[in-house]
Amino acid sequence: MMTTIAFRLNDRPVQIQVAPDRNLLWVLRTELGLTGPKYGCGIDQCGVCTVLLDGRAVRSCITPVQAAAGRAVVTIEGLARDGALHPLQKAFIAHDALQCGFCTPGMILTAYSFLRVKPNPTREEVIAGMDRNLCRCGAHVRIVEAILTAAAEMRATGHA
Amino acid sequence: MNPHAPGIGSKSPGGPAVPSRRAFLRNCASGLVVWFILPDLGAQQSEAASAVAAGARAKASTDFNAYLRIAEDGRVTCFTGKIEMGQGPVTSLPQMLAEELDVSVDAVDIVMGDTDLCPFDQGTWGSLTTRQFGPQLRAAAAEARAVLLEMAAERWQVPVTQLVVHDGVIQDTKDSTRRITYGELTKGKAIDRHLAAPPVLKKPSEFKVMGQPRFRRDAREKVMGAAKYSGDIRVPGMLYASILRPPAHGAKLLRVDASALAADKDFVFVQEPGLVAVLHELPDMAEEALGRLKAEFEPSPFRTDDRTIYEHLARVGPEARLVKQTGNLEAGRSLSMTTVATTYFNAYVAHAAMETHTALAEIVDDRMVVWASTQNPFGARAEVAAALGWPVSRVRVITPYVGGGFGGKSFNLEAVEAARLAKATGRPVQVRWTREEEFFNDTFRPAAVVNVGAGLDAGGRIAFWDYEVRFAGDRGSELIYDVPASRIRAVGNFNGPPGFHPFGVGAWRAPGCNTNAFARESQIDQLAKAAKADPIEFRLRQLTDPRARRVLEAVAKEWGWQPAVPGSGRGLGVAIGFDSGTYVATIGEIAVDKATGHVTVKRVMCVQEMGLVINPQGAKLQMESCIMMGLGYALTERIRFKDGALRDTNFDSYAIPRFSWLPQMETIILDAHDSPPQGGGEPAIIVMGAVLANAIHDATGARLLELPMTPERIKTALPA
C-alpha cells in the first residue's frame, strides 16, 4: 500500500510515494539517495543508522518512514551549514575520533541530540549518553574527548 | 518498478566470451521470474583455479611507475593494493611517498585496492603495510626522485649533485633561474627510465614527513558522510539480493519453494547450486521476501556445543608439530622443585566489524567489476574469477573504504555471491549481509585449548616449559623468556585444518597471538606466585631480550609499580608480548564486584617498541584500538552454539566493548627510530586477556583459565 509522505530532509522539502511501514533507513538510502545512515544490526543495537527526527536521535533501522511525516529529518549529510562543518564534525577531525568511520555518522548525530539536552556534560555523562552506540575500532576515548571539545565550543559560540 | 533484466535468457549477459551455460527461464503466469541455472564450469574452472594460483604467486612490482604517477600539475598519485579499514595507511603511505619523493604530503592522492590500477598485493593483514609494503613504496619514490633529478640534470647539462629538490620543484643551486617541477618534467606520463643501482633511502635523521604525527586524511569525508563504502556505491538498474542461509552449519538444502512470491512480479528469484537468492530493487523488500520462501534443510551433522567443544578439540586433530625445542625437557623436569600444569581455553570470537560484508557486482564491457568490502582485493578477484569460471583478467575488484576488518574480510564470499548473481541476472547486484548473516558466515577466531607444563628450579627460575597449543595457531607461541629446556608444539592452525570446527575459522586480529599470550603470560604469573616473586621481577629474571626488557622496565617505571606477589588484592595485572616485530608490555588495574563477578577495568597502560614510527598519531590510535577491542575477547565475547546453529547472531547477545567500559588509558611508544619500522595494528591487543586474567587473580585470588572471563565464571572461580 503506497502512501504519499512529505517531510523536510536536510532542510529541503521532500515528498515520496512509499509504503508507510518501510523503515526510514532504507527509504533514505534508496528513494532519497543518501548514504550517511548506515546499516549495522537492523535491531536498534548499534546506532550506525542514527538520524535526527526534529533534532532528536532516532534509530532509522526500526523507525517506519511514516513517523517522519510532517517532521524534519537530518542525516549526517545535512549537518554542515553552507560548507561550514558543525563543531562536532570539526572536533571529531581534530581528535582523530574515528578509524574505519562506519559508526561516525551515528556517533556525531547521537552526540548532537545528547548535547541539545545536556549542553554542559561531564565526561561520565557523555559516556552514559553514548553507551548505546557501538564502535568496533575502539575509537571511544577520542570520541568522548571530541564531544567534550565540541560542547565547549558550542557553549562558547552559541552554536546549535 | 520493473526489475526484469533486458534480454533475459537470450544471451549470456557478459557477451560471447562468457562460458556457455544452460539457463532455464521459467515465467510463471503471475510474472515471477524463476531462473534455474546449472553451471558447466568444468574446464574453465580449473583454468581459473590455475590463474588463481598464478595470481597468488605474483610478485611485488619492481617498476616504480606501478606505485606512483606524477600529473602535469604536480599532484602525485600513490597506488597501493592495501586497503583502508580504519588502521590508517590512507595517511601513513602518502607520508612515506612524500618523504622519499620530496613533495608535500598534501600533494599526494592515494588509490587503494583497485586491481586494475594498483600493483599486486597479497592482502591487508599481519601488520605488514608499514614494514613490508612501506619499504617497497619508499624505494619506488626514492628511485623516481633520483630519475627525475637525472632528467633535469641532462636537460640543463649540469651535474646531478648541483641540483636540489623541494616540494616537487628541482632547482639548480648554481643558477637560481633554473627551476622545473616534477610535473613539467614528466608531463603526466609514466617515466620510461630506471636507476642502474638500487635507490638509496633517506636516513631517519633526514626525515621531514615520516615520524611526524599526522591527522587522518580521511576524517573530513568520514565526518561529513561523504566517504563511500561498498554499500554506498550505486549504479543504474541495480538489484539488491537477499540470500537464503541454512539454519545451522552443515545443514544441506533439500528443497525450496518460492511460490509465495509468485504473485509479485517485482522479485527475481535465483537458484543455483549453493546459492538461492531473492532480488529486488529495494533491499528491504528483498529481505522481507526471503522470509516468504519455504525451505527445507537436512539436520546439521555437527554434535558439539560451546561447552563440549573443548573436549572435542582436545581429542581430535592432526599430529602435533614441533614449533621449537631447546635443551633437554626431562633434565628440566628433574631439576624442578615445583611444577605447574594448566590447561587454558578460549571461545570462538567474532570479528563483528560495524560494516557487514558488502559487494556490488556489475558486468561492464564483458568484464565483472566488483566493489567489495575486502581486506584482500586481489584475493577477491581470484575468488570471483574461479566462481565464474572466468580468467582473472576479466575481473576487476575496486575497494572503497572498508568499515572494519580485523581479519574477517580476508575471504570474500559476498563478492562471489554478488558476481554470480550479476552474471545470472545480467543486472548489477548488491549483496549486503545482514548482521545475522555476518555472524553466520564469519570465520571466527577459533576456540582453542592450550596445555602448559612448567617447573621452577631451586633458585626460583623456570627450569622447563612444555607447551602445546591446539587450534589457535603457532603465531606468538614462542617463549620470550630464557628457559633451559622447552618444547613448543602446535596442533592445527588458526585457519583449520577443515573438519574439526563446526564452522569457519580464520585470522582474527593477531591470529594465534591472543590465545598464546593469554596462556603464556597467565602461566608465568602462576609461576611467579609459586616462586613467591613479584610478577615483573620474576619476568625480568629470565628475560635477556633487550627490547623485551626495555618495554617491561618502562611500563613498570611509568606506572610506578610497587613489587608484590600475585594475589596482592590490588587488582593489578601485567603481561608482555611480541608480534609483528613489535614488543608490548601492558599493566592493567581492575576491580571485581564479588557479589556479581562484574569486572571494572580502571586503568590500562601500554608501552610499545615498534622501531621507526611513521605516524606516531596513527600508531597511538592503533594501540588504543587494541586495548579497547581486547577488553571484549577478555571479558564477554564468545559464540554460543549447538549442533552447528549459532545462538549469538547480533549485538543484543554478543557483547562488544562499549563507552562505559572505557578505562583510563595511557599509550607510550619508545623511541627506536634507528631500527626498521615494525607492525602496529595488532601487537597491543595480544596481551589483554592475560593482563586482565592476572589482574582478576591479583584482586580476588581466582585464576581464570577460560576466555572470556564472564561475571558468572568469575563468581564460580572466587575462593570460598
Q: Which of the residues in chain A have pLDDT under 50?
A: none
- Asked whether the predicted pLDDT for residue B101 surpasses 70, the reply is yes
Residue of A34, A75, A114, A136 to mutate for B, most B C-beta atoms under 10 A = A136
Scanning A80-139 for CB atoms below 8 A from B yields 80, 85, 88-89, 92-94, 96, 98-105, 108, 126-128, 130-131, 133-139
Q: Select from B227, B283, B652 the Cβ nearest to the Cβ of A101.
A: B227
CA proximity to A109, closest of A159, A68, A74, A141: A74
Chain B interface includes A142 (CB < 8 A): yes
What is the nearest CA distance from A70 to chain B, expressed in angstroms? Answer: 23
Residue B21, pLDDT score: 27
DSSP of B507-549: --SSTTHHHHHHHHHHHHHHHHHHTT--HHHHHHHT---HHHH
Domain residue spans of chain A:
3-78, 87-157
Check if the beta carbon of residue B305 is closer than 8 Å to that of residue B447: no
Q: Select from A30, A79, A136 the Cβ nearest to the Cβ of B404.
A: A136
Question: How many domains is chain B built from?
Answer: 3
The reply to whether residue B223 touches residue A46, judged by beta carbons under 8 angstroms, is no
Q: What is the CATH number of the domain that holds B106?
A: 3.30.365.10
Distance CA B99, CA B210 (A): 6
Distance CA B598, CA B590 (A): 10
Distance CA B198, CA B511 (A): 35
Question: Given the C-alpha cell 559516556, which residue does it identify?
Answer: A127
Interaxial angle between packed helices A123-130 and A104-117, expressed in degrees from 0 to 180 and rounded to the nearest 10: 120
Residue B43, pLDDT score: 34
Region B586-615: what's the mean pLDDT? 97
DSSP letter assigned to residue B161? G
| C-alpha cell belonging to residue B428 | 548489477
Residue B59, pLDDT score: 62
Region B73-80: what's the mean pLDDT? 96
pLDDT tens digits along B301-358 = 999 999 999 999 999 999 999 999 999 999 999 999 999 999 999 999 999 999 999 9
Fold classification of A3-78 is: Ubiquitin-like (UB roll) (3.10.20)
Within-domain flag for B46: no
Domain interval for residue B190: 64-223
Same domain membership, residue B96 and residue B150: yes
Residue B262, pLDDT score: 86
Region B198-217: what's the mean pLDDT? 93
- Asked whether the predicted pLDDT for residue B216 surpasses 50, the reply is yes
ipTM above 0.95, yes or no: yes
Choose the weakest-confidence range: B13-17, B288-292, B428-432, B651-655. Answer: B13-17
% of residues, chain B, pLDDT over 90? 87
What is the nearest CA distance from B275 to chain A, expressed in angstroms? Answer: 23
The reply to whether residue B354 touches residue A138, judged by beta carbons under 8 angstroms, is no
What sign results for the dihedral spanned by CA atoms B635, B638, B642, B648?
positive
Within-domain flag for B57: no
Mean pLDDT of chain B: 91
Region B139-151: what's the mean pLDDT? 95
Same domain membership, residue B213 and residue B172: yes
Same domain membership, residue B410 and residue B449: no
What is the nearest CA distance from B224 to chain A, expressed in angstroms? Answer: 6
Residue of B354, B430, B439 to mutate for A, most A C-beta atoms under 10 A = B354
Which one is the CATH code of A87-157: 1.20.120.1200, 1.10.150.120, 1.10.10.10, 3.40.50.2000? 1.10.150.120
- Residue type for position B535: P
Q: What are phi and psi of B98, to 5 degrees?
A: -60, -40
The reply to whether residue B660 touches residue A98, judged by beta carbons under 8 angstroms, is no
Region B645-655: what's the mean pLDDT? 98
pLDDT tens digits along B357-374 = 999 999 999 999 999 999
The reply to whether residue A134 touches residue B85, judged by beta carbons under 8 angstroms, is no
What is the nearest CA distance from B435 to chain A, expressed in angstroms? Answer: 5
The contacts of residue A138 (CB under 8 Å, 6+ apart) are A99, B624, B625, B626, B627, B628, B629, B657
| C-alpha cell belonging to residue B204 | 631517519
Give the helix ranges, DSSP H, for B392-507.
Answer: 413-425, 435-440
Q: What are phi and psi of A31, to 5 degrees?
A: -50, -40
Distance CA B556, CA A58 (A): 46
| C-alpha cell belonging to residue B167 | 616540494
Q: How many CB atoms lie within 10 A of CB B450?
A: 25
Same domain membership, residue B279 and residue B166: no
The reply to whether residue A127 touches residue B662, judged by beta carbons under 8 angstroms, is yes
Distance CA B383, CA B115 (A): 13
Residue A136 with chain B: CB contacts under 8 Å: 352-354, 404, 406, 629, 656
Q: How many CB atoms lie within 10 A of CB B59?
A: 7
Band of residue B375 on the pLDDT scale cut at 50, 70, 90: very high
Band of residue B198 on the pLDDT scale cut at 50, 70, 90: confident
Residue B273, pLDDT score: 94
Chain B interface includes A48 (CB < 8 A): yes
Region B267-283: what's the mean pLDDT? 97
- Show which of B394, B410, B432 is a domain's final residue: B432
Same domain membership, residue B593 and residue B562: yes
CA proximity to B355, closest of B428, B285, B435, B240: B435
Residue B93, pLDDT score: 96
Count CB pairs under 8 A between chains A and B: 165
- Show which of B404, B432, B460 is a domain's final residue: B432
DSSP letter assigned to residue B634? H
Check if the beta carbon of residue B83 is closer than 8 Å to that of residue B370: no
| C-alpha cell belonging to residue B241 | 539480493
- Show which of B223, B256, B275 is a domain's final residue: B223
pLDDT tens digits along B12-44 = 222 222 222 222 223 223 333 333 333 333 333
Band of residue B58 on the pLDDT scale cut at 50, 70, 90: low
Band of residue B1 on the pLDDT scale cut at 50, 70, 90: very low
Within-domain flag for B247: yes
The reply to whether residue B621 touches residue A99, judged by beta carbons under 8 angstroms, is yes
Residue B392 burial (10 A CB sphere; 0-12, 13-18, 19+): buried
What is the nearest CA distance from B253 to chain A, expressed in angstroms? Answer: 26
Distance CA B110, CA B127 (A): 19
What 3-state class would DSSP assign to B497? coil
The reply to whether residue A77 touches residue B353, judged by beta carbons under 8 angstroms, is no
Residue A142 with chain B: CB contacts under 8 Å: 621, 624
Distance CA B36, CA A101 (A): 40
